[in-house]
Amino acid sequence: MEKDNCIQLSDSVLVIQGPTNIGIIKSDDGVYLVDSGNDKEAGRKILKLLNEREWKLKGIINTHSHADHIGGNAYLQEKTGCAVLASKGERGFIESPVLEPSFLWGAAPYKDIRTKFFEAKPSTVTQLLGPGESFENFTVIPLGGHFFDCIGILTSDGVFFLGDSIFGSETISKHKIPYIYDIAEFRKSLERIRQTPAVQYVPSHGPVGKECGDLIQANFEAAFSIEKNLLEILGSGKTFENILKETADIFSIELGAASYMLIGSTVRAFLSLFYNDGRAFFRFEENKMIWKRTE
């Protein structure tokens, strides 16, 4: 973790730029991190940086429980005894990370997805953070949609850590179909970000910006593109596997063990949305679940 990657955003806030951006929020007697990177090595580099600056680590605030956000927790908590702060809905996955690959697969996960990409080392959540709660010099902003109970962190001097409630333009371009657990909540969160004034916006994956209107629009458009193509695919009855294959083909995605899980979950999230709002239905034929658009 090069020192040049650590940039000052305000008097009390810095960000370590990397594959997953990590926030540093200063308090009177130490610092809090916003997320901890993807593994033990990320934790080791963070601690080295904090020690060089003689900053005591008081706690890690996890925006959500995905492995690339909690991967450094266990190392840092073991070495410093720091607190881990998270929302109630993400706590179980942080303390029992095997739940993430289990949830994505829907059963005991097979070995190919029991990697650090899906399964971090467990850490102990010591404090729950509720929506709208203020703590030290930051406020918790509910930003659901990407996962069960995601949160953003708005500091008292206007730096807004967005977690994965919004995706950077490079992430959208690279992955084409980002992981979304709940489409309706994801869209609500984009609107909540739009309506929350801040002086700096920090997505977990992507550059820091002083405004994010264009990025919000890009995220809406990405979701709309997926939705439009899926509804066209559902013009005739298809099984989930056929829907997933056609979706991947349209977006020129070659599926593997990881992308099958993540993109498949996003496709299922859209199917749930369509079924719940009446735009699609399913039936069973010859022991196959067939999905079709409502005409």
Enter the pTM of the model: 0.95
- What pLDDT is stored for residue 193 in this prediction? 98
CB crowding 271-295: b at 16 or more within 10 Å, else e: bebbeeeebbeeeeeeeeebbebee
Fold agreement (3-224, 225-293) = no
- What pLDDT is stored for residue 244 in this prediction? 98
Cβ count within 10 A of residue 225:
15
- In CATH terms, the superfamily for domain 3-224 is Ribonuclease Z/Hydroxyacylglutathione hydrolase-like (3.60.15.10)
Q: Which of the four CATH numbers 3.30.1490.190, 1.10.10.10, 1.10.8.80, 3.40.50.300 does domain 225-293 have?
A: 1.10.10.10
Burial class from Cβ neighbours inside 10 Å (0-12, 13-18, 19+) for residue 268 reads middle
Task: Give me the residues of the chain with pLDDT under 70, please.
Answer: 1-4
Domain ranges of the chain: 3-224, 225-293
Q: Give pLDDT tens digits for 90-139.
A: 999 999 999 999 999 999 999 999 999 999 999 999 999 999 999 889 99
Token pair belonging to 241: 């596997």
Q: Tell me the chain's radius of gyration from C-alpha atoms.
A: 20
Are the C-beta atoms of 201 and 228 separated by less than 8 Å?
A: no
- What pLDDT is stored for residue 4 in this prediction? 60
- H/E element, 143: none
